[in-house]
Amino acid sequence: MMRLYVLTGLMAVAAMAQMPKGLIFHASFESEAAKVARGDGRLYSAANYKQQKDAKPGLAAAPNAKLAAGAGRGGSGALQFTAKNENAVFYRAEKNVAFDRKKWTGTISFFLKLDPERDLAPGFCDPIQVTDKAYNDSAIWVDFTKDDKPRHFRLGVFGELKGWNTSGQTTGDESVVSTTGWWW
């Protein structure tokens, strides 16, 4: 069975008695509601990302996603994907991501628990993607490559599409950092 666990939170630390003052969002996945949220803290799902406008709170539209009690760091919950997921599963960013158009900064912490060779279906897998547009337009993401053996874990950052894609190219691999050869 495919197992991909995702635990996430901005500046999140497991088993903290008191959340830090700067923490604006933390999803422990002990329930579908975020533990800390300045905006809407509900977990949403939709048939796919093109239908986000029709998303409803909860995981009903994502049959391959479920909460896994005790499967996270320090015994917290986790979001488990039991098979390749094509559905949209997300938290709304408004007020949950501090944004300043002139000097935006932030930290995202997440933990993955899997063996990419055994647990992931063929094709790209993007466990985390932060964007309000598209994967290649003002986005921060991590993924596992589809063809490499072993699969590479990468971090990608794209600026505004109009700014970097002046020639109409279809990829932006120069914005990707691969963990190939890193010691963990």
* Residue ranges per structural domain of the chain: 1-121, 123-184
Distance of alpha carbon 117 from alpha carbon 150, whole angstroms:
7
Distance of alpha carbon 139 from alpha carbon 120, whole angstroms:
23
| pLDDT for the residue numbered 102 | 83
pLDDT tens digits for range 84-128: 999 999 999 889 888 777 887 778 888 899 999 999 989 999 888
Least confident window among 66-75, 90-99, 164-173: 164-173
The pTM for the full model equals 0.78
Nearest one of 45, 27, 24, 43 to 88, comparing CA atoms = 45
